[in-house]
Amino acid sequence: MTTPAVEVFAVPAVFEERESEIRSYCRAFPAVWTSARGAHLYAADGRAYVDFLAGAGALNYGHNHPALKAALVEYLAGDGVGHALDMHTTAKEAFLSAFVEDVLEPRGLDHKVQFTGPTGTNAVEAAFKVARKATGRSGVFAFMGGYHGHTLGSLAATANRYHRGAAGVDLGNVTFLPFPGGPTRDLDTLGYLRTILADSHSGVDLPAAVIVETVQAEGGVNVAPAEWLAGLAEICAEHGILLIVDEIQTGCGRTGPFLSFERAGIVPDVVVVSKSISGLGLPMALTLIRPEFDVWSPGEHTGTFRGNQLAFVTGTAALALWRSGEVQRTIERNTALISDILARDVVSLDERLELRGIGMLWGVDTARIDPTGVLAAAIGERCFADGLVIERVGRNDTVLKLLPPLTIDAFTLGEGLAILAAATSSCLPT
Ligand code: PLP
């Protein structure tokens, strides 16, 4: 494989000298960003990049969507409340009403909405705590390859050893099960679960909850079959185990429907949502809880930043876009485009390349050519040199993950895919 001639960026000294070694995305994409619009990021040197990272899923509507930006600017100009803990505000009322009307009621979901701390992991922590409180049990079943965040509770359910190793303490109370994708794809998890849960001598205690992603995004774009998800929900219901669906990356239209579990016809007990729920990339996270499991006492799980008023404003505007049907139409068109072009121009380059995905979440897996991830890294670097921001995920980061804004126009989508095809072609071993 060839090593791309990647430009060397002059990174301002303050980042290397004073920002913690923890920094990550800026190492893979070492530009200095100044502005962004739609599916484009603009660097300080004036170069435009097509953005297939989209804030790791926080920018389903692209950068600075005009309708969302206008709502925010109007709210700020009118001295709208900027911070209010979890007190009632008109901004929160509008968001909650729209969320109930546009997301929950049409799907027959009677879940209560908990506004947690601002980021995805906060919603997962709340989900685990409420499930433990509601059932009086401590264990959680999670899946190999799964990703749920980096605070201690959610990290315990995150499979990646590199991330787990940073915990500094034992991560307990979680049992990992094989996921129907990735290296464990052929194992019969549902059969195993049915057997061990029914067997009083299995030595496995009944857990409080099972947490699952319908598509493991960070885990390498592994799509769980709908019937498998339905089977899992059935087992949970049979044994009084709460089913938590992590919609943090798959939600808000990423896989087609607003919530990705819809394709399986299931109703989870708890759903966690974050990333694109505010539309504009502002932090907000929700834990949706079936009323019978909303066993919290007032203030038992609290925090200063549970009510991002600005996120409520842009989130309400984003739900209005969804209601108009405009976003769904674009997703349908883009889904057809992205899957067709990837199959025709990228995966056709080598029969060992594997394409996986659904809706607007796709992965090109290079592991069968190079399981070490060197090839995928070379392709990613070549893409960046040619003006495309694209992330790598999965075991050894062998999978190039495509996560463009759902609203990307067909021309820009084609442009990004052409860069990926050329980069793949130039980096493949001859
Ligand atoms: N769950 C899933 C499926 C995610 O993809 C992520 C983040 O990528 C998280 C949880 C954690 O969210 P956050 O990084 O906002 O804490």
Ligand 1 centroid, distance to 315 Cα (angstroms): 18
Cα 148 to middle of ligand 1, angstroms: 5
pLDDT confidence of residue 8: 58
Runs of H (alpha helix) within 58-136: 66-77, 90-99, 120-135
Does residue 1 carry a pLDDT above 60?
no
Asked if 340 and 235 touch (Cβ cutoff 8 Å), the reply is no
Ligand 1 mutation target, pool 25, 147, 255, most atoms within 8 A of CB: 147
The chain-wide mean pLDDT, for the chain, equals: 97
Tens-place pLDDT, residues 126-182: 999 999 999 999 999 999 999 999 999 999 999 999 999 999 999 999 999 999 999
In this prediction, what percent of the chain has a pLDDT beyond 70? Answer: 98
Strand partners, 176: 142
Ligand 1 atom with minimal separation from the 218 CA = 5
Six-digit token string for 124? 């997962």
Question: What is the model's pLDDT at position 11?
Answer: 87
In the structure, what pLDDT confidence band is assigned to residue 7 with cuts at 50, 70 and 90?
low
* Residue whose tokens read 């992590």: 246
Ligand 1-lining residues (CB < 6 angstroms): 56, 119-121, 124, 147-149, 213, 217-218, 246, 248-249, 274
Ligand 1 centroid distance, CA of 274 (Å): 8
- At 327, give phi and psi (nearest 5°): -65, -45
Ligand 1 nearest-atom number relative to CA 249: 5
CA gap 50, 422 in Å, rounded: 15
Residue 16 CB contacts under 8 Å (≥ 6 apart), including other chains: none
Q: Tens of pLDDT along 49-94? A: 999 999 999 999 999 999 999 999 999 999 999 999 999 999 999 9
pLDDT digits (tens, 9 = 90+) for 333-370: 999 999 999 999 999 999 999 999 999 999 999 999 99
Ligand 1 centre from 238 Cα, in Å? 29
